[in-house]
Amino acid sequence: MTEMLSRGALAPAAPTAAGPFVDAVDDVLTCVVIEDVTHDVKSFTFELPGRAQLYFLPGQYLTFTFPMPGPVAGEAVERCYTISSPPSRAASVTITVKRVPGGPVSNWLHDAFRVGDRVCASGPFGEFSTAHHPAAKYVFFSAGSGITPLMSMTRTLLESAVPTDVVFVHSARTPADIIFRDELDGIGARPELSVAVICEGDAPGEEWHGPRGRLSLPLLRTLVPDLCEREAFTCGPPPYMAAVRELLDAAGFDPAFRHEESFAIGALPPAGPAACDEVGEETGRRFRVEFRRSGRVLECDGGTTLLDGAIDAGLTLPSSCGEGVCGTCKLTLLSGRVDMRHSGGIRPREIAQDKILICCSKPLDDVVVDA
């Protein structure tokens, strides 16, 4: 998404008996329920302060700050997790987390996090939602824990008064790895929603009798004969999403109706050696960038993000994803203009308050940032 510091915000909903509706949270949430979903997946349900109800769109996510043990006292780690519950259950929000071998956050959540524990969260963020792409017919593709945003969308569509035709195609390693398996079985029996689960192999003690292996073009055409009449949403590991993209291209699917989401974010690329210089060095057309509180002033060209410029100049600023997703690098623009191409990590209300994500903001003229 491209933002030229456009203005606009969501209108807050009217309060209800359970608590006021809020369109954003940046506070401490309390865990009220922990539920085992599979052998390595758990759902964590949180309440907002004051029993507030969060207005969010199906498919959006929250950015959590977890107080992880580490070599530095008070070290914190940020992670983005999709809200798997539908907006109709606004009195609480649920995230569904798969244990990742060696993953510090997922293992800590599974092993040490308890009901009653509290954690900081902000959001909601993200544009990956059926709310932005209303259609009469959808096809959902998911693999592993990529099912969470699509399950939130499915639950929302099923609760809607508007009839919607959905084909849900989910891939898992074995039957034991099917997240929300019982719920998928139940909604697959409804006439307006078709569910197809593909497993690569059997689970210990259970033989899989459904489609086996991986999604292929012949199988896709069998499962979704009217594929090109649908709006497609895909979420899962990057190799899976790339494979689905190739299949859709081979089937002649219009890319304009294809939407993707992934939190497997690559490392931030290093800034080029001549990307930014301290003020005083003339290297082509450049813009003056002042970080007001630190007292540092740089010069950056229009093709360099403010974060890359800061890194190249030796400044350490909060950042995580480097792709405009998580919102970690959010700062206030005090003056000037930037071209901000984010991926849903900032809300319209924050943009109206002159907030920017420096990881995806490039200067359009001289700028001053509150950092």
Confidence of residue 66 (pLDDT cuts 50, 70, 90): confident
**The pLDDT value given to residue 191:** 83
pLDDT at 284 over 70: no
Tokens of 207: 């033989």
Average pLDDT, the chain: 84
Asked if residues 223 and 196 have their Cβ atoms less than 8 Å apart, the reply is yes
**The pLDDT value given to residue 75:** 66
Mean pLDDT, range 280-309, rounded to an integer = 77
**The pLDDT value given to residue 163:** 81
Centre a 10 Å sphere on the Cβ of residue 144 and count the other Cβ atoms it contains: 19
pLDDT at 262 over 80: no
**The pLDDT value given to residue 2:** 40
Closest CA to 217 of 193, 252, 184, 188: 252
Confidence of residue 109 (pLDDT cuts 50, 70, 90): very high
Mean pLDDT, range 41-50, rounded to an integer = 96
- Between 265 and 245, the higher pLDDT residue: 245
Poorest-pLDDT segment among 40-49, 146-155, 358-367: 358-367
- Between 359 and 313, the higher pLDDT residue: 359
pTM over 0.85: no
**The pLDDT value given to residue 1:** 44
Mean pLDDT, range 222-231, rounded to an integer = 96
Tokens of 330: 């959010």
Of 18-32, 63-77, 261-275, where does the model show the most confidence? 18-32
pLDDT at 282 over 70: no
Tokens of 76: 């914190």
Tokens of 237: 């590991």
Q: In the chain, what percentage of residues exceed pLDDT 90?
A: 51
- Between 273 and 332, the higher pLDDT residue: 332
- Between 92 and 78, the higher pLDDT residue: 92
pLDDT at 188 over 50: yes
The domain segmentation of the chain, as residue ranges, is: 2-125, 130-261, 276-370
Of 224-233, 306-315, 350-359, where does the model show the most confidence? 224-233
- Between 130 and 16, the higher pLDDT residue: 130
pLDDT at 219 over 80: yes
DSSP state of 232: E
CATH code assigned to 2-125: 2.40.30.10
Is domain 130-261 annotated with CATH 3.40.50.80? yes
Asked if residues 2 and 341 have their Cβ atoms less than 8 Å apart, the reply is yes
pLDDT at 13 over 60: no
Asked if residues 234 and 241 have their Cβ atoms less than 8 Å apart, the reply is yes
**The pLDDT value given to residue 28:** 95
pLDDT at 349 over 80: no
pLDDT at 265 over 80: no
**The pLDDT value given to residue 209:** 93
Confidence of residue 17 (pLDDT cuts 50, 70, 90): low
pLDDT at 74 over 60: no
Q: In the chain, what percentage of residues exceed pLDDT 70?
A: 86
Residue 144 CB partners (closer than 8 Å, separation 6+): 98, 171, 172, 177, 179, 236, 237, 240
**276-370, which class in CATH?**
alpha beta
Render 104-147 in DSSP notation, one character per residue: HHHHHHHHH--TT-EEEEEEEE---SGGGS--SEEEEEEEGGGH
